[in-house]
Amino acid sequence: MKNIKLLGLPLLLLFFITSCSSVSVLSDYDQKADFNGYKSYAFYKTGIDKAQISDLDKKRILRAIETEMSSRGFVKSETPDILVSIFTKEQERVDVYNNNYGWGGAWGWGYNPWAWGPGFGWGGGTSVSASTQGSLYIDLIDNKTNELVWQGKGVGTLSNTKNIAKKEERIREFVSQILEQYPPNAVAMK
């Protein structure tokens, strides 16, 4: 039984670590848009200026987008086919965990307002954690028609870390996973 407890705790920790690091991604697009015609891009400054995050985080997001767009064969241009805009949202999230691990209990008789008789059961307790749930939207706008043709959204936990390298890595992860959904026809064929 002791081996089960020792094995269970690392597996539980691994589950929580991986569940906190994932990004949930959704995308939507205009079915009439010709995505094969888009070869160049530029950032839509008006939309980006409205994003309610620090200028440093905006720079990090835009650099990550540049990297991903370049890896997909796009070139940055003064006369682009599409404009790239971003939008961000965040909200505080509170999670309550009931940590039922280990054996515990006591034998005996006595009065308990919730139970009578002998008792034996699991030990553990409750913990509460707070985190920031963030959403990053990446919009692709047709420059000729000025209409939204594709939107990707990533939702995940943001770490309030002082480690800039970890922050940049998390932003690159968000952007990469969102843009994996583009172009929509390639995603549909998978």
Domain 31-94+127-189: give its CATH code: 3.30.160.670
Question: Are 128 and 95 spatial neighbours (Cβ–Cβ below 8 Å)?
Answer: yes
Give the predicted TM-score (pTM) of the model: 0.69
Q: Is the dihedral angle over the CA atoms 69, 73, 78, 82 positive or is it negative? A: negative
* Least reliable range by pLDDT among 65-79, 96-110, 135-149: 96-110
| pLDDT of 90 | 77
Tell whether the model's pLDDT for residue 99 goes beyond 80. Answer: no
Q: Percent of the chain scored above 70 by pLDDT?
A: 65
The residue ranges of every structural domain in the chain are 31-94+127-189
Averaged pLDDT for residues 156-176: 86
> How many angstroms separate the CA atoms of 106 and 101, rounded?
16
Tens digit of pLDDT for each residue in 127-148? 776 666 789 999 999 999 999 9
Question: Count of CB atoms within 10 A of residue 157's CB?
Answer: 16
> How many angstroms separate the CA atoms of 138 and 64, rounded?
12
